[in-house]
Structure 1
Amino acid sequence: MTSAGTLTRPGLVLGQSMALRYALALAALVAALLFHLSLNSPLSLADQWGLLWGRPPESFEDFQFVYAALPRVILAVLVGAVMALVGSLLQQVTQNPLLSPMTLGAASGAWLALVCLSVWAPALTSDWGAWFALGGSIVSVVLVLLIAGRGGLSGLPVILAGMATHILMGAIATAIILLNQYATNNLFIWGAGDLTQTDWQWVTWLLPKLSVAVIVLLLAPRPLTLLRLGDAGAGARGLSTGPVLVVLLLLSLWLVASAITAVGVISFIGLITPNIARNLGARRAGDELVFSLLLGAVFLLLTDCIAVAASGWFPDMVPSGTAAALIGAPALIWFARKRLSARDQTALELPEGVPRVSRRTWLLAPVVLLALVLLSLCFKPDAFSFLHPLQSLRWPSDLVLSLRWPRIVTAACAGVGMALAGLILQRLIRNPLASPDILGMSAGATLALVLFTVFVGGSIHEAGPFVAFAGSAGVLGLLLVLGRRTQYSPGIMILVGISLAAMIEAMVQFVLAKATEDAYTIIGWLSGSTYRVSDAKALWLGGGTVILFGLALATSRWLTLISAGDAIAEARGLNTSRARLLLLVLVCACCALVTAIMGPIAFVGLLAPHVATLMGARKVWPQLWLAPLVGMVLMLFSDWLGWSLLYPKQMPAGTIAAILGGSYFIFLLARRRLR
């Protein structure tokens, strides 16, 4: 009897401790509800209680409480709870604590689908918006799974694949917005994740669609518990893991798509709250689901309280998604640094290519580059230019030449700068998937420029390279501090980049949500446009790129030795710490110069070194020459395609490069996985 009591005591203690945690979570939820309502309504608690129990509203404050404050607080509870539930479900299925709708790419796919629907069929948004968002999420997640594979779900491969897909989907959405400016004004606030309500429409629309969460809570705990035993252990107990994973994933995507359709994109809730739930003692599968759900509601309520309070300091309302990202990004780094070590590998590899660069390649690359320059100068676009291409080629007049040569110089130098930055980072970290946009270098420069515009004022084109360099240097300092403790873990550096990208997106959406005249100027600059580059800035970029390229050539020996390993480099007399710091400063300078003049450019720094490797440039010296050539070709072609394909409309070169480069990158990885 004593033995049995002793055996059951741990279970009783665990049950009592979880009951106490549930009670505390419910108390926190009630407190957050009351605090939120007190911020959003001047009514006393007694007046609010009377309205809840049926007293008809009479004053303006009564109507504001019933039709604005109350629907907002209910939406915050519903969306926060559902996003946290989905995050816990995804993390338990994959055993990956860094997975969420954001990092899996589901949110970006849903956002792209809703942008398309709002532009081309706005009348269908209310009835079919959730279904289109679900379709976009499925497409995005399938791409991520093709890249990462089943074996990559538990580590960094799925995070990297999700980020690549997120950049690609975002570039396509940006292109659609820029081409349909008058039809997308309302999307800026929606994209920022806004909980502001004026009636009960979205609550009544969303509530029945989120009833799927009850099915998840009832059916998911047992399969999730068995999945912790592994595929073999779960199969031995009668669980078919494949169908279970598909059903749970589809239910999760439906919940995410419904929430995004109602309130827009709100990041990090699904990432942070399951980690907090586990740290607070939620060990069983069902406990983690329910505890995450409660904490998600509390977290979004408190985040929305911060957004409401901060709105008093700004002339415009601060979106809830902006506040969630600014809080969640540091939290992502905090949780990640405890779980990732220096031995973390991405497990994603690109095709190897030919063993060496052929003479034909060295001759053909400059010819292609020259042909693109002549095409950009001599091509005269019109409605029939692609039907009769030879008739559209003519030597430009002085006026046309004065307009086009700054764009050509800017695009070519931007390709060189980003290719050099990507090449140096990949050699430094010895990681084939390192690039300025993934590691946050470009993100830091962009964030500094956007913050300068928001808080200092003036045009974003007036901030200059020094502000951009300060942003890149800030990211560099953060990488050095975090990298020293983790021996420069690729995982930590990549997650810093993801966090900064989310913060930048939140800040940009906050600026765009103001609906000012500068909104499209900012989004055009963020797309990497050569349209507004002046002669002087083009010359500055050209001269700076030449200097940086010369410095990169001078450090070729450092790159060769560091690529072989720190031990070998130090044995050859290289001070690896000093060399690494100087090379990182060189990367910062490249990113700052390009970003300040043209704007952020995605995928060029990642793809140019890989394409050079596929063409046979495996050693540092030939790669330092061939990768910039590839970057120039990609950017010149993107710039020409941007202003000629949809003439007289124009698309930014950075957006075209992100779409082309991202599609090619995903194709390479997916093809390797399928083989």
Structure 2
Amino acid sequence: MQAVITLLLPASWRGWRYPLLLCGLLGLLSLHLWLDGGLHPAAQWAQLWQAPVDFSGLQFHYAALPRAAMALLVGAALGLSGSVLQQLTGNRLVSPMTLGLSAGAWLGVVLASIFLPGVLALHPAWPALGGAMLALGLVLLLAGPQGLNGLPLVLGGMAVNLLLGALATALVLLHDQYARNLFVWGAGDLAQIDWQWTLWLLPRLSPALLLLWLAPRPLSLLVLGLAAARGRGVAISTILLLLLAALWLSAVSVAAVGLIGFIGLVAPNLASLLGARQPRAQLAASALLGALCLLGSDCLALAFSQWAGDSLPSGAVTALLGAPALLWLARRNLRPAQQAAAPPSVVAGQRRWGRGGWLLAVSLLLLLTLLSVCLSPMPAGGQLRWVLGWPEALLWSLRWPRSLVALSAGAGLAMAGVLLQRLLRNPLASPDLLGLSAGGSLALLLAASWLGQPLLQGGPLLVLAGTLLVLGLLLWLGRRQGYAPGMMALSGIALAALLDALLQAVLAKGTADSFAVLGWLAGSSYRVSGAQALWLSLAVLLLGMLALAAQRVLALLSTGDGVAQGRGLVLERARLGLLLLVALLTAVVTAVLGPVAFLGLLAPHIAALLGARRPVAQLLLAAMLGAMLLLLADWLGRVLIYPRQLPLGMLASVLCGAYFIVLLCWQRLRRGGGR
């Protein structure tokens, strides 16, 4: 054993650090078994060597021990996977979670559960691996080779994470009878009832041993750069093989226990902090610390479950501990220049938006509004036929609030996206990126879950309170950096991941209301009243006028911090005011409609591609495009699977997200960045 320690760990680890970590792991293991099995350490040791004869023995052998073993295996696999990814990219903020690999693996599991249940039952790792590879390919196309060691890789991973998460949610809603058992799995749960999954996972972690043996030399050469490493004999196939091994470890972990975030981010950074410098030492230490972190997180989940009398998924605990860790690591690893701004991934169009374009945009908006109200399928003689005409009074009373809400919400989210993208100087920024929509949604869900009140009762006030609370946290976190765009984006990523994990914990209870909650989270306009529609349109109009009044501030911010300060702009006040305006726009839309992802990302981007470069032009054109996109999504949601309906937010998120990712990838390849 000492020879293995000497081989794997550097000199700084050969003293007290390794024995201390080993003692901590054994202590946590004993605590975990006591919390789960109810046996004190002496009884655990005695029970370990005898066959179970009573309920406590059965609980210890077939629930407590498999769960502890699963925590150790999954934690080690995620820590090792994160270490390989970080060393390959040279980016300490990379992990399976921040790259969207976990969301891709989750989408693969959902697809297989619905369409290929036999494949999922026999080979659950392969669908997860396919989804993870899809996510990685999209992220690499978005970031490009020049963005691997900075924020573009993380922000691109967040965009892919939103898209694949929206797709998974849409599939669960459309096939609830096949996906009902996936709620707990999606929250990341380590609970076991036998040794089946542990024995399934153990042989599939064999690539970990190959990584410890084969990876150190190419990883040590990659520190010099890709060109230097290739000059010293490191083939591209070797790098791809290492990447595939890291993907495999993440995929089999998701297949076994569901989504567990942040372990692959925290463990390698802790290993570096504790003195692991060489590649082999970093790999081994990351695996050990990953097992330690996940075992400790599961101890907290078990303790909370015993205290509250209700189960808490381990994924929620890891997010609760990992989100602050991401913020701290970002401050420690990012240079001031990277904190101040994230390099844009797309460029504006070369054409100019003139009078003819405005006339075309207004005409299309009016045409879509008329079609949304007047065109729909109707049953006639056992068949469906399309009817074009002004609706009757009853249908009119149902359709005009939905159309007005779609127009207002689309315009509000698009303007919020323009403000945020110009503020952060990054076209991948949106209200979803900062976690504002998630904060409002979580406030409403917690009130419905813990206080027992109806989901939509007191909705606007609760959503506004949750959104403003998230904004307050963002402002407090960004104050020391002067609300630097890069740090604000990373703070939003951390908070969004934390809120999403808590949201999954609420849904993991598996109650009859879970699908109703998912329907609202998908952005539903089913129950919108006329008063709510009028209230939303008035609020968006007033806030939009404030956004137009801030055109000079937006123009100066786009030129850079130095030029803006030279023209007399107080950066902190300007950023604070714009963030507050974004939060209010997001809150009023989310309160009425629910969260809608990607619309605030796509509409400003299309407006820029069409030639709207000035702040006023981009705000107005993006508002019109957002209104058209959400109105089209609402109409398609009503007619695609008539008489059933699709939530417009879910449909808009999937369509806009897919188009946005494809467009960015196409631009990256056209500019040669995909080589």
SS, match of residue 172 in structure 2:
helix
Structure 2 letter corresponding to 1:641: L
Is the 2:411–2:627 Cα contact (8 Å) retained in structure 1? yes
2:363 is the alignment partner of 1:367: yes
Q: Which residue of 2 aligns with 1:617?
A: 612
2:669 is the alignment partner of 1:674: yes
CA RMSD of aligned residues (A): 2.2
Q: Specify whether residues 400 and 534 from structure 1 end up closer, same or farther in structure 2 by C-alpha distance, changes over 3 A only.
A: same
Structure 2 letter corresponding to 1:268: F
CA distance in 2, matches of 1:132, 1:429: 36
Q: Which residue of 2 aligns with 1:6?
A: none
CA distance in 1, matches of 2:483, 2:571: 13
Q: Which residue of 2 aligns with 1:432?
A: 427
CA distance in 1, matches of 2:398, 2:583: 30
Q: Which residue of 1 aligns with 2:555?
A: 560
Q: Specify whether residues 664 and 468 from structure 1 end up closer, same or farther in structure 2 by C-alpha distance, changes over 3 A only.
A: same
Q: Which residue of 1 aligns with 2:346?
A: 350
CA distance in 1, matches of 2:26, 2:139: 38
Q: Which residue of 1 aligns with 2:30?
A: 34
Q: Which residue of 2 aligns with 1:530?
A: 525
Q: CA deviation at 1:672?
A: 1.6
Is the 1:179–1:649 Cα contact (8 Å) retained in structure 2? no
Q: Which residue of 2 aligns with 1:292?
A: 286
Q: CA deviation at 1:453?
A: 2.9
> 1:285-309 deviations in whole A, cap 9, x for unaligned?
1111111111111111110011111
Structure 1 letter corresponding to 2:343: A
Q: CA deviation at 1:138?
A: 1.0
Is the 2:482–2:572 Cα contact (8 Å) retained in structure 1? no
Q: Which residue of 2 aligns with 1:248?
A: 242
Q: CA deviation at 1:575?
A: 4.8
CA distance in 1, matches of 2:9, 2:606: 59
CA distance in 2, matches of 1:217, 1:15: 18
Q: Specify whether residues 59 and 603 from structure 1 end up closer, same or farther in structure 2 by C-alpha distance, changes over 3 A only.
A: same
> 1:647-675 deviations in whole A, cap 9, x for unaligned?
22221111111111111211221112111
Structure 2 letter corresponding to 1:317: S
Q: CA deviation at 1:19?
A: 4.7
Q: CA deviation at 1:90?
A: 0.5
Instruction: Choose from 72, 92, 100 the match for 1:105.
Output: 100
Q: Specify whether residues 207 and 576 from structure 1 end up closer, same or farther in structure 2 by C-alpha distance, changes over 3 A only.
A: closer
Is the 2:142–2:345 Cα contact (8 Å) retained in structure 1? no
Q: Which residue of 2 aligns with 1:329?
A: 323
Alignment of 1:51-200 (within 5 A): 51-53=47-49, 55-200=50-195
TM-score (norm 2): 0.94
Q: Which residue of 1 aligns with 2:301?
A: 307
> 1:595-640 deviations in whole A, cap 9, x for unaligned?
1111111111122112111122111122221110011011111111
Is the 1:146–1:673 Cα contact (8 Å) retained in structure 2? yes
Q: CA deviation at 1:466?
A: 2.9
SS, match of residue 432 in structure 2:
helix
For structure 2, the residue ranges without an aligned partner over 5 or more in a row are 1-6, 671-675
CA distance in 2, matches of 1:465, 1:456: 16
SS, match of residue 246 in structure 1:
helix
Is the 1:416–1:629 Cα contact (8 Å) retained in structure 2? yes
Instruction: Choose from 262, 269, 276 the match for 1:282.
Output: 276
2:584 is the alignment partner of 1:589: yes
Q: Specify whether residues 239 and 303 from structure 1 end up closer, same or farther in structure 2 by C-alpha distance, changes over 3 A only.
A: same
Q: Specify whether residues 177 and 614 from structure 1 end up closer, same or farther in structure 2 by C-alpha distance, changes over 3 A only.
A: same
Is the 1:429–1:488 Cα contact (8 Å) retained in structure 2? no
Q: Which residue of 2 aligns with 1:547?
A: 542
Instruction: Choose from 645, 652, 661 the match for 1:650.
Output: 645
CA distance in 2, matches of 1:222, 1:362: 59
Is the 2:401–2:529 Cα contact (8 Å) retained in structure 1? yes
Q: Which residue of 2 aligns with 1:7?
A: none
Alignment of 1:493-532 (within 5 A): 493-532=488-527
SS, match of residue 433 in structure 1:
coil
CA distance in 1, matches of 2:295, 2:276: 21
CA distance in 2, matches of 1:334, 1:205: 36
> 1:538-584 deviations in whole A, cap 9, x for unaligned?
12111211211222222223323333345555665655543433222
CA distance in 1, matches of 2:578, 2:295: 44
Stretch deviating more after TM superposition (19-28 or 201-210): 19-28
2:45 is the alignment partner of 1:49: yes
Structure 2 letter corresponding to 1:330: P
Q: CA deviation at 1:504?
A: 1.8
> 1:129-187 deviations in whole A, cap 9, x for unaligned?
11111111111111111111222211111111111111111111111110111221110
> 1:265-294 deviations in whole A, cap 9, x for unaligned?
100000111111101111111111111111
Is the 1:343–1:489 Cα contact (8 Å) retained in structure 2? no
Is the 1:465–1:596 Cα contact (8 Å) retained in structure 2? yes
For structure 1, the residue ranges without an aligned partner over 5 or more in a row are 1-10
> 1:516-556 deviations in whole A, cap 9, x for unaligned?
12211211111111112222221211121121122222222
Is the 1:450–1:507 Cα contact (8 Å) retained in structure 2? no
CA distance in 2, matches of 1:17, 1:105: 32
Stretch deviating more after TM superposition (480-489 or 37-46): 480-489
Is the 1:81–1:297 Cα contact (8 Å) retained in structure 2? yes
Is the 1:350–1:668 Cα contact (8 Å) retained in structure 2? no
Is the 1:342–1:488 Cα contact (8 Å) retained in structure 2? no
Structure 1 letter corresponding to 2:243: L
Structure 2 letter corresponding to 1:407: R
Structure 2 letter corresponding to 1:271: L
SS, match of residue 380 in structure 1:
strand
Aligned residues between the structures: 661
Structure 1 letter corresponding to 2:669: L
CA distance in 2, matches of 1:49, 1:566: 63
Q: Specify whether residues 273 and 514 from structure 1 end up closer, same or farther in structure 2 by C-alpha distance, changes over 3 A only.
A: same
Structure 1 letter corresponding to 2:614: K
Q: CA deviation at 1:358?
A: 2.5
CA distance in 2, matches of 1:430, 1:58: 65
CA distance in 2, matches of 1:383, 1:535: 26
2:410 is the alignment partner of 1:415: yes
Structure 1 letter corresponding to 2:31: F
Q: Specify whether residues 12 and 624 from structure 1 end up closer, same or farther in structure 2 by C-alpha distance, changes over 3 A only.
A: closer
Is the 1:266–1:320 Cα contact (8 Å) retained in structure 2? yes
Is the 1:92–1:224 Cα contact (8 Å) retained in structure 2? yes
Q: Which residue of 2 aligns with 1:18?
A: 14
Q: Which residue of 1 aligns with 2:673?
A: none
Stretch deviating more after TM superposition (288-297 or 637-646): 637-646
CA distance in 2, matches of 1:606, 1:393: 33
Is the 2:483–2:575 Cα contact (8 Å) retained in structure 1? no
SS, match of residue 302 in structure 1:
helix
Q: Which residue of 2 aligns with 1:5?
A: none
Q: Specify whether residues 62 and 351 from structure 1 end up closer, same or farther in structure 2 by C-alpha distance, changes over 3 A only.
A: same
Q: Specify whether residues 238 and 575 from structure 1 end up closer, same or farther in structure 2 by C-alpha distance, changes over 3 A only.
A: closer
CA distance in 2, matches of 1:154, 1:80: 25
CA distance in 2, matches of 1:135, 1:183: 20
Is the 2:260–2:315 Cα contact (8 Å) retained in structure 1? yes
CA distance in 1, matches of 2:460, 2:192: 41
Instruction: Choose from 369, 384, 393 the match for 2:388.
Output: 393
TM-score (norm 1): 0.94
SS, match of residue 532 in structure 1:
coil
Q: Specify whether residues 23 and 576 from structure 1 end up closer, same or farther in structure 2 by C-alpha distance, changes over 3 A only.
A: closer
Q: Specify whether residues 393 and 527 from structure 1 end up closer, same or farther in structure 2 by C-alpha distance, changes over 3 A only.
A: same
2:658 is the alignment partner of 1:660: no
Q: CA deviation at 1:347?
A: 3.2
Question: What is the identity percentage for the equivalent residue pairs of Structure 1 and Structure 2?
Answer: 51
SS, match of residue 392 in structure 1:
strand
> 1:428-448 deviations in whole A, cap 9, x for unaligned?
233333221112222332333
Stretch deviating more after TM superposition (414-423 or 557-566): 557-566
